Amino acid sequence: MQDNKTTNITHDDEINLGELFIKLWGQKWIVTISVSLCLILSIIYAQTRPVAYEVKAVVTTPGNDQLLDINLNGLTKYTPESIFKLYFKELKSPALLRDYFEDKKMHSIEDNVNKESKTQNEIDAAFLSFLKQMKVINSTPEFLQKTVEGKIVKGSDASLLQADITLITADSQITAEFINGYIEFVNEQLLEKMQKEQLARKQQQLSELKRIQDLVLSVEKKQRELSILKMKENQSIQVVKIEAEIKSTINVYFENLEAQIVQLKASLSIAQQLNIVEPKSLADFYSDSSLAGKIEIYTSENKGNNDYMLADKGYLLGIKFLMAEITELEKRRKNSRFVEGLAELNQKLLIAKNNPELTALQNRADDKPYVAAYLNTLDKVEKLEQVNLKFNNPKFYQLTQEAIAPGNLVGRSKNIYLALGIVLGGMLGLMLALIRIAIANYREKH
Residue 322 has pLDDT above 60, yes or no: yes
- Say yes or no to pLDDT of 290 above 80: no
Write down the pLDDT at residue 301: 57
The pLDDT value recorded for residue 446 is 67
Reading phi first (left if > 0) and then psi (alpha if -120 to 50, else beta), residue 72 is in: alpha
pLDDT in tens, 55-83: 999 999 998 888 888 887 888 888 889 99
Asked whether the predicted pLDDT for residue 188 surpasses 50, the reply is yes
Q: What sections of 275-318 are H helices per DSSP? A: 282-287, 289-301, 306-311
pLDDT confidence bin for 285, thresholds 50/70/90: low
Look at residue 412 in the predicted model and tell me its pLDDT.
Answer: 57
Query: Taking residues 360-387, what's their average pLDDT?
Result: 88
Q: Is residue 445 scored above 80 in pLDDT?
A: no
Axis crossing angle, helix 120-133 with helix 94-103, rounded to the nearest 10: 120
Distance CA 260, CA 264 (A): 6
Q: What is the mean pLDDT of residues 100-106?
A: 83
- For residue 5, what pLDDT is reported? 43
Residue 114 has pLDDT above 70, yes or no: no
Helix (H, G, I), strand (E, B) or coil at 392: coil
- Of the candidates 419, 446, 430, the one whose C-alpha atom is nearest the C-alpha of residue 38 is 419
The pLDDT tens digits for 27-42 are 788 888 888 888 888 8
Full-prediction pTM beyond 0.75?
no
Tell which wins on pLDDT, 15 or 340.
340
Question: CA torsion sign, 43 to 45 to 48 to 51?
Answer: negative
Using CA atoms, how far apart are residues 205 and 208, in angstroms rounded to an integer?
5
38, 39, 43, 49: CA torsion to nearest 10: 30
pLDDT grade for 288, boundaries at 50, 70 and 90: low
pLDDT digits (tens, 9 = 90+) for 415-425: 777 788 888 88
Lowest mean pLDDT among 90-94, 161-165, 268-272, 404-408: 404-408
Residue percentage of the chain with pLDDT more than 90: 27
Name which residue leads in pLDDT, 154 or 164.
Answer: 164
Q: Rounded to an integer, what is the distance from CA 390 to the centroid of its chain?
A: 19
Average pLDDT over residues 340-365: 89
Grade residue 225 by pLDDT with cuts at 50, 70 and 90. very high
Residues 73 and 93: their CA atoms lie apart, in Å, by: 27
At residue 89, the pLDDT reads 93
More confident residue, 309 or 341: 341
At 335, the amino acid letter reads N
Bridge-partner residues for 151, per DSSP?
148
State the average pLDDT over residues 197-204.
Answer: 91
Strands (E), 201-327: none
Top-confidence residue, 312 or 140 = 140
Q: What pLDDT does 6 receive?
A: 44
As a whole number of Å, the end-to-end CA separation of the chain is: 22
